[in-house]
Amino acid sequence: MVFALVGNQNSGKTTLFNALTGSNQHVGNFPGVTVERKSGEVKGKKDCTIVDLPGIYSIRPYTQEEVVSTDFILNEHPDGIINIVDATNIERNLYLTLQILELKVPTVVALNMMDEVRENGGSVDVEKLSGILGVPVVPIAAAKGEGISELLEVAVETAARKVMPTVYDFCNDGGAVHRCIHAIVHLIQDHADMLGLPCRFCVTRLIEGDGDMDVRLGINQNEKELIEHCVVEMEDSTGLDRNAAMADMRYNFIENAVAESVVKSRESKEHKRSVAIDRVLTGKYTAIPVFIAVMFLVFWLTFHAVGQRMSDVLAAGIELFTQAADRGLVAYGINPVVKSLIIDGIFAGVGSVLSFLPIVVTLFFFLSILEDTGYMARIAFVMDSMLRKIGLSGRSFVPMLMGFGCSVPAIMATRTLSSDRDRKMTILLTPYMSCSAKIPIYAVFSAAFFPHHAALVMIALYVTGILVGILAALLFKSTLFRGKPVPFVMELPNYRLPSAKSVALLLWEKAKDFIERAFTIIFLGSIVIWFLQTFDSRINVVSNSADSLLAVIGRFIAPVFAPLGFNDWRVATSLISGFTAKESVISTLAVLLGTSIDSLGEVLGTLFTPLTAVSFLVFTLLYTPCVAAVAAVRRELDSAAKTLSVIISQCVIAWITALVVYTIGGILF
């Protein structure tokens, strides 16, 4: 049996999914889209699978999540639906429930957070609510594991017996909405039956203006005009537009249902506490300073105190393992070329990326804590008005902020965005936020050419990245991503303690994803770079890197950088090697110039002037990110062509920006 798990965001859906499946999860994307899907076998029931659909507030052709959820139910035909409802906010949650009932699929309502309702003096007459809705209702507390086994038993029995919802007419008062619905039912009944679609669901989609539904049903022009006439008559009678009239109908039904079956809780201590905390965390004058302090603490812990130290330990372990493998291969007498492939190619490439694993896991640990406690929703709320001016919503701010640490987890974090438009736009903008891997480049060049203004140069580079990102966003807003952005709708949930199990499962998922990528795309990329550095055009092993294929490619593309003030093949080669990891730019220059990294600044003057150094820094700031980040972009966009266009566009923007800086600098100085 396959069950679809459907519910509002922040209703405890993930907690319930984890409680039902444990670690028996598979994470992927819905076919053709980048919305993440989770599926898993139910613990103890190998013949039962739960598919965790995206958190939504309604079923309408509005956001990609709503389209994905509706299409899955209609096209994949799950055996049943488990609709999770937040009992502490039952009126809003039941709106989605009424829409689900129209789909005519065996449904069970899981009334979550009943423990909080009881603690605050409230109650729900489950039997009466079940009778009103026409489907089984099971009270649960997913975070505490209460009612989970009973919910599963009821869901399996309901699906096995194919018990359909018995209530789907929510407007039986004979009013204008009722007349409109029933008139259209008679018009399209045959069309819906032929397609095997629930007629009532089709009618509400037509009334609410779904332009695809009439095409799907094969409705002719005469029928369209009759339907529109019914809708106009309803709007004239109610004084409401079509969507407001349908919403009003549903909420009237919900109000009556709640009045008959629910004893409202008094204001919970969780809500009181949340309101008090929000006076500071979302206050007009305190929100931004507190947010900066929180993110500074997260970044400090991630990139210094905790994550970086664990990364250093892992890097040291990888280095020891590499040295041991090197000695073992020498003792074995293996072919030097094969040894170079293993040590200089695979171990160096994959090992350097794996050393970032503790940073990625640590960053996601803190972000999951912020998400589960409810603070991430506040961040999005606070930043929304600023980002909306460049065509994004507040949700995009956190991934872009993470980009200053590392582009890989930042790009992966765009999965939290509810809009496909916002997700793709944020993915394109995130690499413009200067990642920490570029800091060695900035540090060496600033110390070499601007020793008395190094800090100012570093700040200017970060600001430049932000400004270019803003300009790119404005360009994307009027070209690639035209149209209305999805309205920013987000619930500010009460602050809650995070679930240790949910956090642990998230970290395992992200770590596994990162490791899989390291041993696939990055593995292949490292081998390619090694091959280019090791062989010449006749596939002979080179003793001098100046004779390698990589150097040939560097000489070939070096003239491209002549307008920017630097056209030496060694500079071009360092930029190519920087594709594997941005730190490689400095190490490659040191190797090609025959010096150590510590002494590199002293000899950079043979390749750069202060002006060309600035031009070079601007280019490295903006050009394509490392192979790990490109692999993340490829995964999220699910298109090699789009990923290639991202790489090319960023290189073009970096070249143009560096040219502007070099030209203006040449005029002024």
Q: Please check whether residues 549 and 647 belong to one and the same domain.
A: yes
* Residue 341 maps to a domain: no
* Residue 213 maps to a domain: yes
Tokens of 210: 């779904």
Dihedral Cα 371, 373, 375, 377, nearest 10 deg: 60
Q: Please check whether residues 30 and 74 belong to one and the same domain.
A: yes
Q: pLDDT band for position 154 (50/70/90)?
A: very high
Question: What is the predicted pLDDT for the residue at 33?
Answer: 45
Q: Please check whether residues 74 and 185 belong to one and the same domain.
A: no
Q: Please check whether residues 100 and 231 belong to one and the same domain.
A: no
CATH of the domain at 228: 1.10.287.1770
226-to-187, 203, 219, 223, 528 alpha-carbon distances in Å: 8, 13, 11, 5, 64
Q: Please check whether residues 121 and 253 belong to one and the same domain.
A: no
Tell me: the pLDDT tens digits for 364-384? 788 778 877 888 778 878 888
Task: Look up the pTM and report it.
Answer: 0.68
Residue 368 CB partners (closer than 8 Å, separation 6+) = 498, 502, 503, 506, 507
**Residue showing tokens 């642990």:** 504
Q: What is the DSSP string of 311-341?
A: HHHHHHHHHHHHHHHHHHHHHHT--HHHHHI
What sign has the CA pseudo-torsion 409, 411, 415, 417? positive
Q: Tell me the mean pLDDT in the region 466-490.
A: 77
Distance, CA of 645 to CA of 630 (rounded, Å): 11
CB 71 within 8 A of CB 63: no
Task: Return mean pLDDT, the chain.
Answer: 84
Q: Please check whether residues 119 and 186 belong to one and the same domain.
A: no
CATH of the domain at 102: 3.40.50.300
- Structural domain of residue 116, as residue ranges? 2-160
Residue at a domain's end among 111, 136, 160: 160
Q: Tell me the mean pLDDT in the region 618-641.
A: 87
* Residue 632 maps to a domain: yes
* Residue 272 maps to a domain: no
Q: Please check whether residues 533 and 578 belong to one and the same domain.
A: yes
Q: Please check whether residues 113 and 245 belong to one and the same domain.
A: no
Q: Please check whether residues 184 and 57 belong to one and the same domain.
A: no
* Residue 560 maps to a domain: yes
CB 495 within 8 A of CB 372: no
Ramachandran class of 239: left when φ > 0, alpha when ψ lies in -120 to 50, beta otherwise: left
Q: pLDDT band for position 332 (50/70/90)?
A: very high
Question: What is the predicted pLDDT for the residue at 664?
Answer: 94
H runs (alpha helix) in 196-306: 199-207, 211-217, 221-238, 242-261, 269-281, 287-300
Tell me: the pLDDT tens digits for 518-559? 677 667 766 777 788 789 888 888 887 778 888 888 888 899
* Residue 380 maps to a domain: no
Q: How many domains does the chain have?
A: 3
Distance, CA of 104 to CA of 168 (rounded, Å): 8
Q: Please check whether residues 80 and 199 belong to one and the same domain.
A: no
Q: pLDDT band for position 603 (50/70/90)?
A: confident
Angle between helices 357-373 and 500-518 (to 10 degrees): 150
Q: Please check whether residues 23 and 116 belong to one and the same domain.
A: yes
CB 402 within 8 A of CB 413: yes
Residue at a domain's end among 263, 296, 320: 263
* Residue 469 maps to a domain: no
Between residues 344 and 289, which one has the greater pLDDT? 289
Q: Please check whether residues 663 and 535 belong to one and the same domain.
A: yes
Residue at a domain's end among 263, 288, 305: 263
E strand or H helix at 16: helix 13-21
Q: Tell me the residue ranges of DSSP E strands in 43-96.
A: 45-52, 80-86
606-to-175, 316, 570, 591 alpha-carbon distances in Å: 85, 34, 11, 15
**HSE-up of 133 (CA within 13 Å, CB side)?**
30
